[in-house]
Amino acid sequence: MQLNNRILSTISYVAVLIGVVLGASGIVRGGSLFIAAGTLGIALKSRNFRRIEFYLPVVIAIALFTLAIALPRGR
């Protein structure tokens, strides 16, 4: 279980880092999708804690994913 949490957190942090780099370079939609996926992975790591520590990041990740899909093309 510890190894799964370590792999999940590493993949999640890498996804957030890729999202920030993509967003800073101008690919905002792709960056937000990566950040949402990374946030969801980090939230899944804390699924054994109390409710607010799990559900608030999950709701934020879902909202960011929805917003990224709904973004109009800016070009």
Structure tokens at 21: 């780099």
Q: Convert the pLDDT of each residue in 12-66 to its tens digit.
A: 999 999 999 998 998 888 888 899 899 888 888 777 777 787 788 888 888 888 8
CB 32 within 8 A of CB 41: no
Does the structure show a pLDDT above 80 at 8?
yes
**Residue 73 confidence class, pLDDT cut points 50, 70, 90:** low
pLDDT at 57: 81
pLDDT at 2: 62
